[in-house]
Amino acid sequence: MAENEFPGWHGTTIIGVKKGGEVVIAGDGQVSLGNTVIKGTARKVRRLSPGGYDIVAGFAGSTADAFALLERLEAKLEATPGQLQRAAVELAKDWRTDKYLQKLEAMLIVSDGAELYVITGAGDVLEPEHDVTAIGSGGNYALAAGRALMETDLSAEEVARKSMAIASDICVFTNGNLTVETIRK
């Protein structure tokens, strides 16, 4: 890597699990700069309450970019109370077409307890087929573990926690310091 080339922020695994009438979104706490852990206790899963509706969101990618997206999502939710899918689609459209938003490097997992979506800067609003989804550097590991664990009697939270533990054992950009939020509909 050239001296003047910024290595970029890496790390984060976020998983969303929908099972047994609840949705759990869990995220690790590691933030890395290149190969150095900068912080191990970051909180990348948050509750939003626009217009009195309870929403849980987890983000992977640049923290500042994710906060900008969360603010936009809250505004969309306030404009369309109780309509998470519509707000998510509106955010994805803006993200894809707005010159400022196009530069943002993050992904979101959001839920209102009934629906679970991944929102990307490519204009995607994705609903997982198997009621589990994951993003970030350890996302593929957490997703594989989560899909396998969905076949068990474990609760949504237990699936999320075990999947994150597996991802943190494999991905060097993921740690076991979790933030876990549960939402029921």
Place of tokens 């603010």: 71
Q: Tell me whether residue 97 is annotated as binding.
A: no
Q: Is 12 a catalytic residue?
A: yes
Q: Which one from 12, 13, 80, 133 is the annotated catalytic residue?
A: 12
Q: Tell me whether residue 171 is annotated as binding.
A: yes
Residue 141, token pair as written in the block: 């590991």
Q: Tell me whether residue 168 is annotated as binding.
A: yes
SS3 string, the chain, reads CCCCCCCCEECCEEEEEEECCEEEEEECCCEEECCEEEECCCCCEEEECHHHCCEEEEEEECHHHHHHHHHHHHHHHHHCCCCHHHHHHHHHHHHHHCCCHHHCCEEEEEECCCCEEEECCCCCEECCCCCEEEEECCHHHHHHHHHHHCCCCCCHHHHHHHHHHHHHHHCCCCCCCCEEEEEEC
Contact status, residue 56 vs residue 25, Cβ threshold 8 Å: yes
Which residues participate in the annotated binding site for Na(+)? 168, 171, 174
Which residues participate in the annotated binding site? 168, 171, 174
Q: What residues are annotated to the active site?
A: 12
